Structure 1
Amino acid sequence: MTVLPDDGLSLAAEFPAATHDQWRRLVAGVLSRSGKDVPDAEAEDALSTALEDGLRARPLYTAADGAPDPGLPGFAPFVRGGRPEGNTANGWDVRQRHVAADPEAVLTDLENGVTSLWLAVGPTGVPVSELDRLLQGVYLDLAPVALDAGPETSAAADELFAIYERRGVAPEAAAGNLGADPLGTEARTGQAYDGDGFPGTVALARRCAETYPQVRAVTVDALPYHEAGGSTAQELGCALAGGVAYLRALTEGGLTVEQALGQLEFRYAATADQFLTIAKLRAARRLWARVAEACGASAAGAQRQHAVTSSVMMTGRDPWVNMLRTTIATMAAGVGGADSVSVLPFDHALGLPDAFSRRIARNTSTILIEESHLSRVIDPAGGSWYVESLTDELAQAAWEFFQEIERAGGLAAALRSGLVGRELAANWAERSKRLAKRREPVTGVSEFPHLAEKPVVREPAPAAPGGGLPRVRRDEAYEALRARSDAHLAATGARPRVYLAALGPAAAHTARLTFTANLLQAGGIEPVTEGSFEESGATEACLCSSDALYEEQAESAAAALRESGAGHVALAGRPGSYAGVDTYVFAGCDAVAVLTAALDRMGVS
Structure 2
Amino acid sequence: MEHFALAKEFPPASEADWRAIVDKALKGAPFRVLENQLYEGFATSPLYTGAATSPARHGQRGWLIVQPVAGASLADAERQLADDLANGATALSLDLNNGPAIRKAAELKAVAGAGVPVFLAPGSSPADAALLLAKADKTIVGTAGFDPLTVFAMSGEVPADRKAALADTVDAALAIRERFPLVTPFLASSRAWNGAGGSAVDELALTLAAAVAYWRALEAAGLSREDASRAIGFKLCASADLFLTIASFRAIRLLWARAHEAAGIASNEHILLYAKMPPRILSAYDPQVNMLRATASVFGAAIGGATAIEVYPFDEAATEPTPLSRRIARNTGLVLQSEAWLSAVADPAAGSAYVETLTEKLAASAWALFREVEAKGGLLKALESGFVAERLRQTAEKRERAIAHRKERITGVSVFPNLNEKIALEEPAAIIMEEAHPTVDFALPAPGAGERFAALISAAARGVPLAELHSASRIVCDIIAGGALDVARRDAEPFEVLRQRADFALASIGSRPPVFLALLGSPSDYRARSLWVQSFFAAGGIEAVLPEEGFTDVEKLAAAFKQSPAPIACLCSSNSAYGELKGAAAALKRAGASHVYLAGPASLLASLDPNDQTAVDRLIYEGCNALAVLEEAQRILRVEELAEAAGLEAEDENFGAFDEA
TM-score normalized with structure 2 length: 0.81
Which amino acid letter does the alignment assign opposite residue 239 of structure 2? T
Residue in structure 2 matched with residue 551 of structure 1 by the alignment: 579
State the SS of the aligned residue for 1:158.
Answer: helix
Shift of 1:220: 0.4
Which amino acid letter does the alignment assign opposite residue 178 of structure 1? A
After superposing the two structures, state which structure 1 stretch, 381-390 or 195-204, moved more: 195-204
Residue in structure 2 matched with residue 581 of structure 1 by the alignment: 616
Residue 98 (str. 1) matches residue 69 (str. 2): yes
Which amino acid letter does the alignment assign opposite residue 600 of structure 2? G
Q: How far apart in 1 are the matches of 2:119 and 2:13?
A: 54
Residue 315 (str. 1) matches residue 283 (str. 2): yes
Shift of 1:196: 4.0
RMSD over equivalenced CA pairs, Å: 2.4
Residue 336 (str. 1) matches residue 352 (str. 2): no
Which of the two has higher C-alpha Rg? Answer: 2
Residues 244/432 of structure 1: CA separation in 2 closer, same or farther (3 Å cut): same
Residue in structure 2 matched with residue 30 of structure 1 by the alignment: 25
Q: How far apart in 2 are the matches of 1:307 and 1:158?
A: 24
State the SS of the aligned residue for 1:341.
Answer: strand
State the SS of the aligned residue for 2:583.
Answer: helix
Shift of 1:26: 1.5
Shift of 1:417: 1.7
Residue 108 (str. 1) matches residue 74 (str. 2): no
Deviations 1:224-246 (A, max 9, x none): 11011000000001101001100
Shift of 1:560: 2.6
Q: How far apart in 2 are the matches of 1:112 and 1:604?
A: 46
Q: 149, 152, 155: which is aligned to 1:183?
A: 149
How many residue pairs match? The answer is 565
Residue in structure 1 matched with residue 456 of structure 2 by the alignment: none
Residues 187/351 of structure 1: CA separation in 2 closer, same or farther (3 Å cut): farther
Shift of 1:103: 1.4
State the SS of the aligned residue for 1:404.
Answer: helix
Q: How far apart in 1 are the matches of 2:4 and 2:181?
A: 58
Q: How far apart in 2 are the matches of 1:351 and 1:225?
A: 25
Q: How far apart in 2 are the matches of 1:137 and 1:155?
A: 17
Which amino acid letter does the alignment assign opposite residue 528 of structure 1? V
Shift of 1:63: 1.3
Task: Write out aligned runs for 1:145-160 (5 A).
Answer: 145-148=118-121, 150=123, 153-160=125-132
Q: How far apart in 1 are the matches of 2:229 and 2:545?
A: 62
Residue 389 (str. 1) matches residue 357 (str. 2): yes
Deviations 1:513-564 (A, max 9, x none): 11111000001111111353233200011111111111111x4222332233
Residue in structure 1 matched with residue 41 of structure 2 by the alignment: 54
Q: How far apart in 2 are the matches of 1:501 and 1:387?
A: 48
State the SS of the aligned residue for 2:517.
Answer: strand
Deviations 1:114-171 (A, max 9, x none): 111110013x43455245324427634x211111274x6212222222211xxxx3x1
State the SS of the aligned residue for 2:516.
Answer: strand
Shift of 1:367: 0.6
Q: How far apart in 1 are the matches of 2:141 and 2:520?
A: 68
State the SS of the aligned residue for 1:292.
Answer: helix
Q: How far apart in 1 are the matches of 2:174 and 2:4?
A: 65
Residue 468 (str. 1) matches residue 484 (str. 2): yes
Residue in structure 1 matched with residue 476 of structure 2 by the alignment: none
Residue in structure 1 matched with residue 103 of structure 2 by the alignment: 129
Contact 1:318 1:445 in 2 (8 A): yes
TM-score normalized with structure 1 length: 0.89
Q: How far apart in 1 are the matches of 2:130 and 2:228?
A: 20
Contact 1:96 1:362 in 2 (8 A): yes
State the SS of the aligned residue for 1:443.
Answer: coil
Task: Write out aligned runs for 1:183-262 (5 A).
Answer: 183-192=149-158, 196-197=163-164, 198-262=166-230
Task: Write out aligned runs for 1:432-471 (5 A).
Answer: 432-458=400-426, 460-461=428-429, 468-471=484-487
Task: Write out aligned runs for 1:469-484 (5 A).
Answer: 469-471=485-487, 472-484=489-501
Shift of 1:187: 1.5
Which amino acid letter does the alignment assign opposite residue 484 of structure 2? G
Q: How far apart in 2 are the matches of 1:567 and 1:10?
A: 62
Which amino acid letter does the alignment assign opposite residue 586 of structure 2? A
Q: How far apart in 1 are the matches of 2:546 and 2:575?
A: 20
Residue 498 (str. 1) matches residue 551 (str. 2): no
Residues 136/9 of structure 1: CA separation in 2 closer, same or farther (3 Å cut): closer
Q: How far apart in 1 are the matches of 2:575 and 2:153?
A: 52
Q: How far apart in 2 are the matches of 1:8 and 1:133?
A: 61
Residue in structure 2 matched with residue 75 of structure 1 by the alignment: none
Q: How far apart in 1 are the matches of 2:145 and 2:130?
A: 12
Q: Which runs of 5+ in 2 are unaligned?
A: 432-478, 549-559, 641-661
Residue in structure 2 matched with residue 570 of structure 1 by the alignment: 597
Q: How far apart in 2 are the matches of 1:358 and 1:456?
A: 18
Deviations 1:320-379 (A, max 9, x none): 110111011111111111000011111121243221111111011111011111111111
Contact 1:353 1:458 in 2 (8 A): no
Shift of 1:199: 1.5
Instruction: Return the structure number with greater relative CO, CA threshold 8 A, min gap 6.
Output: 2
Residue in structure 2 matched with residue 281 of structure 1 by the alignment: 249
Deviations 1:158-197 (A, max 9, x none): 2222211xxxx3x1x2110011111111122112359543
Q: How far apart in 2 are the matches of 1:387 and 1:358?
A: 32
Contact 1:261 1:301 in 2 (8 A): no
Residue 367 (str. 1) matches residue 335 (str. 2): yes
Q: How far apart in 2 are the matches of 1:144 and 1:8?
A: 45
Shift of 1:56: 1.4
Residues 371/599 of structure 1: CA separation in 2 closer, same or farther (3 Å cut): same
Residues 415/11 of structure 1: CA separation in 2 closer, same or farther (3 Å cut): closer
Q: How far apart in 2 are the matches of 1:519 and 1:8?
A: 50
Residues 353/134 of structure 1: CA separation in 2 closer, same or farther (3 Å cut): farther
Residues 251/512 of structure 1: CA separation in 2 closer, same or farther (3 Å cut): same
Residues 132/95 of structure 1: CA separation in 2 closer, same or farther (3 Å cut): farther
Q: How far apart in 1 are the matches of 2:249 and 2:569?
A: 49
Shift of 1:459: 5.8
Which amino acid letter does the alignment assign opposite residue 561 of structure 1? L
Q: How far apart in 1 are the matches of 2:327 and 2:89?
A: 10
